[in-house]
Structure 1
Amino acid sequence: MIKNLIGLFLLVFLASATLVAQHTVTGKVIDSAGLPIPGVNVFEKENMSNGTITNFDGDYTLEVANAEGTLSFSFIGFQGLDEVIAGRSEVNVTLTEEVTGLDEVVVTALGIKREKKTLTYSSQEVSGEEMMKSKDVNFMSSLSGKTAGLEIKKSTSGAGGSTRTVLRGSKSVGQLSEPLYVIDGVPMVNRKTSQGGIWGGTDGGDGLSQINPDDIESINVLKGATASILYGSQGANGVVIITTKQGKAGKTSVSVSSSTTFESVMETPDLQFKYGARGNSNQSWATTAGNYEDNYVDDFFRTGYNTINNISVSSGTDKLTTYFSYGNTSAGGIIPNNHYNKHNFSFKQVAKIFDDKVTLTSNIMLTNEKTKNRSTAGYYYNPLTGLYMFPRDGAAPSRDVSLGKQPFSYYKNNYSYFDEERAMILQEWHDYDSGFQSNPYWLLKKQPREDVTNRVIASLSADYKITDKLSFKVRGNYDYAVKTYDQRYYAGGNPVNISRTGKWDYQHFTDRQAYTDGIFTYQNDFGNVSLGVIAGASYQVSILQDGIIAINPDAAGMDLIKPNIFALYNMAPTSIIKNSYGGKIIKEGAFANVQLGYKDMLFLDLSGRNDWSSTLATTGNESYFYPAVGVTGILSQMVDLPDWVTFAKVRGSGSQVNNDVPFGQMVQNSENDGTGLLVKNTRKPWKKGKPEQLVTYEVGTSWRFLESRLGIDFTYYDITSTRQALERTLPTDEQVGGFTSEYFNAGKITNKGIEVILDATPVKTGALTWKTAFNFALNRNKVVEFYPGDPDRFKNIGSADGYVSRITTGGSIGDLYVYKHIKNEQGQLLLNDDGTFRKTRDPELGGSINPDFTLGWNNSIDYKNWSFNFLVNSAFGGNAFSQTESMLDGYGVSQRSADARDRGYVAVNAVMPDGTAVTQMNPETYYKSIGGREGVSEHYLYDRTNIRLAQLALSYKFDTQKLGLPFVQSASLSVVGNNLFFIYKDAPFDPEMSMSTGLGSQSVDNFNLPSTRTYGFNLKLTF
């Protein structure tokens, strides 16, 4: 079907490109230095469907209908030029480079284009070309290190996993602080569903991965609430503006690209294979060395792959342009059965009618996404626990210990056996270890999961140019996704977690969102004063997770009536089968923006929006207004500056915006638990609740020097978030009607920081150009007040055996609490009577995941047809925690524990209860005391500092004319690599990987998938 559609569109586009030419024009296009410019668009201005591009020598040939007509030349980074042919057969031109910062136009809120110099807030744009230098399944990962203040973390769930994005720090104790994502001016749904955690669970993916990165023209990041206030409460945490490609007037252009990369494990934990177990223990604490299997951990992981193929067709005239694309992504993770496949289809048309007074734009994007067997994080259902912890000298099968100890290869080749008594296949394994260990190969074969999403995003807009000064635009958008999650647990698995008949978790639901807005735009000059006005209204309705959930909550009973029949009719009466409903949310908004300019050098920006939110409908606070004000002054036009100063401006802005409350937080109804029982709500209705409030102040300055060869942009911001939604237990005398708790507004969180963007062109001589850019960000997060009048009150947002992520007054969102040694006044570690360490009764503050600062260094070096790009990404300071390392030590399978046994002791400075000094400890006693699930976990808190080569690409652009391929306009081949190696790190794992995208799981490792490096090639052809 897809192939037929592609063929049909190609036929239509190619047929529409026919033209009659009578005059041949040739020529060369050069820059101000006299160097040829390849890839310049050359069109006949009177017939924009007739055009070509220059080759690698800057030469072009074009047949035109009118020898007295005009040629139009355009190329990114250069000012456009129109040249009259005047009967000539040879037309040579010189293009002048644009001076960055002067006339650059960027896409801002609501999809409105503005000159960057007039903006009163910080924004940063990344082109689609820059993003595509190294492709990723989730395009947001390509922005890491290229935007100051933007923190991006990937979950360790393998191919198809989700990402977490935060701008300028976490601002809420109950929400994720993620920015709003906007496609062509319209908000999109990026809801995350299930997430893994310390005890298990699977990442359900997000909406970003469903977007085709090849369809993206550019991304502009609006970093603060002042920049995004026209989107209301949805834009409180910033906005990521995505502008998609559209057809171009001129000759039909067909682009084909193919990217293939391979993925390999960067590093696994440092494990020992020298010491086995004593007897049938599941821990490897023998003290006699042996010769055991040592390759099964490396052999478990495979080389992953990621293949992205895309074809796009662009064609049109000055009245109608069309863009069509089809993309396919196929990926396999490092876990053997992890697969990801995605089909993207996009069709966009722009038509100008009624003497160009009306512009109609229609766009439809279709996605089919299928993910199989995302890896599980945490203890349970995770193949890595059994893989890493397996006794080094082997283990006897639990069904028959008389078989004796078997090596891991036995369990790999015999992950199951037939049980005659139960007449079914069961798992072959040695010890389920309280349920958190299973045969890794049984989990791969007998616990399959499949996630499927079918999504359509359709939009239609009409832009009416009422006069030269006044226009009106109306838009409509519908985002509809059908999602199915199917997790099956076959009978015969781990008996602690899986019932005798098996287990099934099934979800089928829809997410849908309709959005419409109408916007008036007015622009006029009154002498030295310019006036720009934007006024409009929007309406949005979202219905989320509307469907059915069927789960088996308890392994102790019978989850399925008949074993391994995964169907609703076969679910046991104790199973939960119910409708799911994430809520219906209606947002109505009215907004306006006025920009006054004086002599094109001083600008005043005034914005305001009023929202009406259905989530606050019962409180009387459903209507709320928020203002913003900003000022920009172009210093380079106000005062005389030295000639080496090309451009200079200062800016300042302030805003107040609300962060809407989630659905159902105001009034929570009792519900059916799915088994016929009514679960009564015990939380009191929140009748006077208000949304979180964010007040933001921002000042900054931008300077460019030496004809824009050097530039710096500096921003300082101060964000205060108040009215957090907190919960408290009601006093006994207020617990009436069955209510025991209630929400209330309190708390104060601040984020203060600076961002510095430094870009330069150190070398620009002859055919050699080197461009470099630094993106520096520093943020200080502080919980100024949490529960009023109770400074010791706290909230745990993530926890496990060894760590707690806790929010409390005086701390920060991201603080890590761990168990610590108890010491005497001399600094000696106190021991118990049995020689183990004494530890604090409660976890204490050990550090914070928040880095001191981050720094990205991006480089592009061009020499003739060659281009070399590299990106160095780094985070300095902060902490990361590893429960994995703690468990490896406690079970005696870490290399550290083997080294200690080789040495015979671990050196300590400790003291027994009777005062006897202890300077050496038995390795088993030491590592069992600090490690495992209940050890002194401060040992596993690491410095998060890391510097890595995040991206490397070497590209070559072929001269298709010299290759004798005149039908090929351009061709390029790139060799690429991502996350290739660490230049420096302290942690024994990748501290930037996270167990999930949840707030309390950042920079936390609990049997996470190991970090990977990718390498491969990109090929792109344009016809």
Structure 2
Amino acid sequence: MVYICCFSLTVFAQTQFVVSGKVIGADKEPIIGATIQDKANKIGVISDINGNFSIKASSRNATLHVSYIGMKSTEVKVEGKSTLTIVLEENTVKIDEVVVTALGIKREAKALGYAVSSVNNETLTAGNEQNVMSAISGKVAGVDISSTTAGPSGSTRVIIRGNSQLSGSNQPLYVIDGMPVDNTELEGAGKWGGYDYGDVLSSLNPDDIENISILKGPSASALYGSRASNGVVLITTKSAGKKKGIGVEFSSNLSIVKLLSNFDDYQRVYGQGRDGRPPMSPETASNTSQVSWGGKLDPSLEANIYNGELRNYGNVNNNILSFFRTGITTTNAVAFNKTNDNTSFRVSISDMRNWDIVPESDLNRTSVSFKGSAKMTKRLTVEAQGTYSYETVKNRPALSDSPSNIGNALIGIAPNFDQKWLAANYKDEAGRYNDWNGDKYRINPYWVINEMSNKSKRDRLMGQGRVYYSFMDCLQASFKAGLDSYTFRFTDFTPMYTPGFVDGLMKEMTNNVMQYNFEMMLRFQKRFKDFDVSAFAGGNVMRYEYESMIQTGQSQVIPDLQDITNYSSIETEHALVRKAVRSLFGQVSLGYKELIYIDATFRNDVSSTLSASNRSYFYPSVSGSLIFSNLFEHKDWLTFGKLRGSWAKVGGDTSPYQLQLEYGLKAYTNKGTSLGYIASGSVPNANLKPTSTYSFEVGLDVRFFDNRLGLDLTYYQQTTKDQILSLPLSQATGYKRAVINAGEIANKGIEASLSFVPVKTKNFTWDASVNFAKNYNEVVKLHDEVKDFELASARWANASIYASEGQPYGVIVGKKLKRTEKGDVIFENGLPTFDDKVSVLGNGNYDFTLGFRNAFTYKNLSMSVLFDMKFGADIYSMSAMQSHVNGTSKETLEGRQEWYRSEQKRQSAGVPAGNWIATGGYVGKGVMAIKNDDGEMMYVPNNVCVDPAKYWQALQTTSPEPFIYDNSFVKLREISLSYTCPKKWFVHTPIESITLSAYGRNLLLIYSNVDNIDPESSYNNGNGQGFEYGSLPSRRTFGFGINVKF
């Protein structure tokens, strides 16, 4: 018996053969986490932090299968060797593409049961766009990116798969290297005017970014909790890389900024004045600088202008264009990196300077970043990184309905009125404002840029530290601590004598934001024969603090002294907001034979903004994928095929201080004692419960012919319920609004990405891709007593943006033109009639979007071309409305000469206007009601001639319908060309590579339905999209760059 046992042990020892070794890449750097599996007994291990492994093979002749995400799998025969060095090559076919997912974890894309889109640095920086998110416009399906016309100092609005929040932000959570950052936008422009103050993304240097991953649905973003209910944008910054030694990289770019178009396609027949006559005195000239109902333009004539001078009455070419200057943007950056066996770090410094197309408007931004890691022991790794940016902006342009909005002043100038005349006469000898148009809501643009001023400073510090400890090859613990802090200071100066502010005004605003994140996580990863198992669990604590101080000074004491203490009346507003969220989260992932993958996640948040009974809320998600291409043995035509599906629930909290009344102190006192008051205008609700979002998603990912053709399809449904809203109340209650849980919004849609390689030879490759997205949105339910929720309004134009039950989110509403059952407009006395109640007139959201990108590579020369297309949205252009009222629109020419002739006949005949039937004029297209011979009402074509000026002016404050346009457009968004010099040029030099580039961005507006504005012009970046007023011309950029690596 003893003999038999010894014999058995001997045989077992002979069959169990221990193999040790190291897994490295083509660059000879170790690969951490590679899977090594014996094909016979299915025993598998994972390489450690140095790439080392040890496995008990089934025999001396065993075959090992070695794989790692993003690398080509390989099989190695042991052949009796006890030590192996295994080299893995990069997978150029990208079946095993690696993407960054929630919590910064890198995973194979094929294992995911939900859609994730990625943009690499090369694609991101092709057009040298300085705003990170604007740079990916048109490059990702299902992501709608827009911005105001504020230029490089402005913010970006990013909406993933439609709007889902009635109040608060619909924008995603931004996560930089695994840590959430604050991207809260200050209250910007609206119906009372204002500015675009920019956002966190404007302080990031695109050259420092390695990759952007976009988690589109709740299934992808659920692990980030309630902050991620609108999706997540994961930004991964560059690190030192694996190459040992010291590296230096320098890049420099120079961009020339022009207007996208002149935007001056107006009538050039009639000039300044009224009733067909030019201004005959300085008084009438002062009130008609922006009124073009005068006489016919004639360069041989002269007419009065606002200061009493006589000026030529001919047409002025390029009148709007000549106000703006050629903008210039320079960017310079240098990066240093060093890597050795145990440490690596990267330091970068960048400087960006912009002189905008708006005169006297400039921006300077400097940023410094550091990222490093150190292997303290075999099992302990420490990482740290930080970014500091300092930005100054001089004279952000005013937007929307601001009296100082330059666009509002320029769009109405009469075609004979040279805007350059305003430059020399905007103030008198005493420094007082010269009135040029009799309108305090449209200030002389030269007074705005030379006398009024604003300036801002933004300091931002983002940093984090991470510690990783490996208990064993398959078990790792990590701890992260992150800080996001910034201070924003803004000063707005309005001098004495400014219309509407004759005594002067000054506003100083300081905002401080601090956000801390602390996170611990334990992660397990191991292969058991045919099964890949990974799991992690952890916790997060987030603390957020926002403090605001606003001082407003009125009645300036000493002229020209810009100091808040130089005002006789100073009001101070102070706000302090604090919030905390504590969370537990976890995920379990299973994979079987690289065929089936299943993920299940959970998260539980405890929010300080909800009551004790509701502040803890739990939400799960589940997703899976089937790699059906692995079911077929002979599939030369099918490179890869995957079906995926997911379901998720995500909770959401609210802003602080909604549960109880807020109290404050008045600025004045009674007998030395400050008086208190109820600061909140809303009825609080101590029983608020979390918002819930439910999502379902299915998708198909197929690739053919060695990745020459690929298609990714996604269908999704998403419903957000129990939204936390502030609904209007009767003021008889003593409050303006009440905070309640109400509202349900549904989104559903499809996304498609098609990639193909039409041509691929030894030296030439043509890559093409098309992305398509269509989202259908509906406000399913608001409240039993409230059917409409206002998102935005135009204060004098009788138009609003609503969320209305049964309608898409963000419809444009206003009084509609009265029509017959056949749709004909009903006229009365030659003017259109209007409904008494408001109706839906349009929808500010796009039906579908398209992006089409082509990339060509010939040897060392590369070129890419991007077209960006959006269709189906509507826009109420108040600029167009104003041009009709002022008489500059080409449409106002119809009937004008006929009306003037009719008036001449009337005056010659001595007939009062009320007794005269016009013989010519504007005849509106529609019908009018008359009585037939039987006394019954009937409709006949309208034939009443009216003064065109009165016709268009009648529409100014009654119905926006005639000025709502289809806002579809097609743009040539980007072209880039780059050449990398051959390496042989730099033999025996420290230079590693030199790349020269030329680029253009926002180059051409190919198709649009709205005259004289960029279709992407927007009132603001808030939830109420669909308004435009006084938009500045959009910017077109051309530039050149150089990148040198040592």
**Please, what TM-score do these two structures have when normalized by structure 1?**
0.85
Aligned letter for 2:201?
L
Q: What does residue 665 of structure 2 align with?
A: 672
Q: What does residue 429 of structure 1 align with?
A: 435
Q: 1:761 to 1:408 in 2, by over 3 A?
A: closer
Aligned letter for 1:686?
N
Q: Distance in 1 between matches of 2:823 and 2:100?
A: 59
- SS at 1:209's partner residue? helix
Any conservation in 2 of the 1:654–1:698 contact (CA below 8 Å)? yes
Q: What does residue 146 of structure 1 align with?
A: 139
Any conservation in 2 of the 1:576–1:675 contact (CA below 8 Å)? no
Q: Distance in 1 between matches of 2:791 and 2:462?
A: 38
Q: Distance in 1 between matches of 2:210 and 2:700?
A: 27
1:465 CA displacement: 1.1
Q: What does residue 999 of structure 1 align with?
A: 1023
Q: 1:756 to 1:671 in 2, by over 3 A?
A: same
Structure 2: where are the runs of 5+ without partners? 1-24, 33-67, 77-85, 299-313, 670-674, 900-920, 932-939
1:230 CA displacement: 0.9
- SS at 2:140's partner residue? coil
Select 1:296's aligned residue among 319, 328, 350: 319
Q: What does residue 968 of structure 1 align with?
A: 991
1:747 CA displacement: 1.5
Q: What does residue 591 of structure 1 align with?
A: 585
Q: 1:409 to 1:225 in 2, by over 3 A?
A: same
Q: Distance in 2 between matches of 1:597 and 1:431?
A: 73
Q: What does residue 909 of structure 1 align with?
A: 925
Any conservation in 2 of the 1:47–1:317 contact (CA below 8 Å)? no
Select 2:155's aligned residue among 157, 162, 168: 162
Mapped pair 1:410 → 2:412: no
Alignment RMSD: 2.8
Q: What does residue 839 of structure 2 align with?
A: 844
1:559 CA displacement: 3.3
Structure 1: where are the runs of 5+ without partners? 1-40, 49-74, 84-92, 395-406, 420-424, 553-557
Q: What does residue 601 of structure 1 align with?
A: 595
Any conservation in 2 of the 1:120–1:651 contact (CA below 8 Å)? yes
Q: What does residue 813 of structure 1 align with?
A: 809
1:750 CA displacement: 0.2
Any conservation in 1 of the 2:404–2:443 contact (CA below 8 Å)? yes
Q: What does residue 65 of structure 1 align with?
A: none
Q: What does residue 393 of structure 2 align with?
A: 371
Q: Percent identity?
A: 30
Any conservation in 1 of the 2:69–2:96 contact (CA below 8 Å)? no
Q: What does residue 489 of structure 1 align with?
A: 494
Mapped pair 1:662 → 2:655: yes
Q: What does residue 221 of structure 2 align with?
A: 228
Q: Distance in 1 between matches of 2:677 and 2:882?
A: 38
Q: Distance in 2 between matches of 1:799 and 1:851?
A: 21
Whose Rg is larger? 2
Any conservation in 2 of the 1:837–1:929 contact (CA below 8 Å)? no
- What aligned pairs does 1:80-479 form with structure 2 within 5 A after superposition? 98-248=91-241, 249-267=243-261, 268-273=263-268, 274-278=270-274, 279=279, 280=284, 281-282=287-288, 283-290=291-298, 291-355=314-378, 357-379=379-401, 380-393=403-416, 408-419=419-430, 425-433=431-439, 435-479=440-484
Any conservation in 2 of the 1:906–1:926 contact (CA below 8 Å)? no
Select 2:502's aligned residue among 499, 503, 512: 499
- What aligned pairs does 1:572-721 form with structure 2 within 5 A after superposition? 572-573=568-569, 575-581=570-576, 583-616=577-610, 618-640=611-633, 642-672=635-665, 674=667, 678-680=676-678, 681-721=680-720
Alpha-carbon deviations, 1:820-849, whole Å to 9, x = none?
Answer: 22124565433344x332222333211212
Provide the aligned length of Structure 1 versus Structure 2: 911
- SS at 2:333's partner residue? strand
Q: Distance in 2 between matches of 1:812 and 1:673?
A: 42
Any conservation in 2 of the 1:287–1:901 contact (CA below 8 Å)? no
Q: Distance in 1 between matches of 2:586 and 2:190?
A: 43
Q: What does residue 3 of structure 1 align with?
A: none
Q: Distance in 2 between matches of 1:965 and 1:426?
A: 68
Q: Distance in 2 between matches of 1:918 and 1:209?
A: 54
Q: 1:732 to 1:314 in 2, by over 3 A?
A: closer
Alpha-carbon deviations, 1:109-167, whole Å to 9, x = none?
Answer: 11111111111111011101211111222111111111110111011112310000010
Q: Distance in 1 between matches of 2:317 and 2:946?
A: 25
1:798 CA displacement: 3.2
Q: 1:256 to 1:442 in 2, by over 3 A?
A: same
Q: 1:634 to 1:824 in 2, by over 3 A?
A: closer
Deviating more after overlay: 867-876 vs 1012-1021: 1012-1021
Aligned letter for 1:417?
D
Q: What does residue 777 of structure 1 align with?
A: 773
Q: 1:997 to 1:739 in 2, by over 3 A?
A: closer
Alpha-carbon deviations, 1:261-294, whole Å to 9, x = none?
Answer: 1111122142235422134142221243331434
Q: What does residue 883 of structure 1 align with?
A: 878
Aligned letter for 1:846?
L
1:602 CA displacement: 1.0
Aligned letter for 1:472?
A
Q: What does residue 397 of structure 1 align with?
A: none
- SS at 1:842's partner residue? strand
Q: 1:388 to 1:985 in 2, by over 3 A?
A: closer
Q: 1:920 to 1:947 in 2, by over 3 A?
A: farther
1:918 CA displacement: 3.1
Deviating more after overlay: 157-166 vs 662-671: 662-671
Q: What does residue 859 of structure 1 align with?
A: 854
Q: Distance in 2 between matches of 1:476 and 1:185?
A: 10
**Please, what TM-score do these two structures have when normalized by structure 2?**
0.83
1:527 CA displacement: 2.2
- What aligned pairs does 1:544-583 form with structure 2 within 5 A after superposition? 544=546, 546-552=547-553, 558-573=554-569, 575-581=570-576, 583=577
Deviating more after overlay: 772-781 vs 798-807: 798-807
Alpha-carbon deviations, 1:162-192, whole Å to 9, x = none?
Answer: 0000100000110221110001111011111
Q: 1:826 to 1:139 in 2, by over 3 A?
A: closer
Any conservation in 2 of the 1:836–1:929 contact (CA below 8 Å)? no
Q: Distance in 2 between matches of 1:255 and 1:752?
A: 45
- What aligned pairs does 1:823-834 form with structure 2 within 5 A after superposition? 823-825=819-821, 827-833=823-829
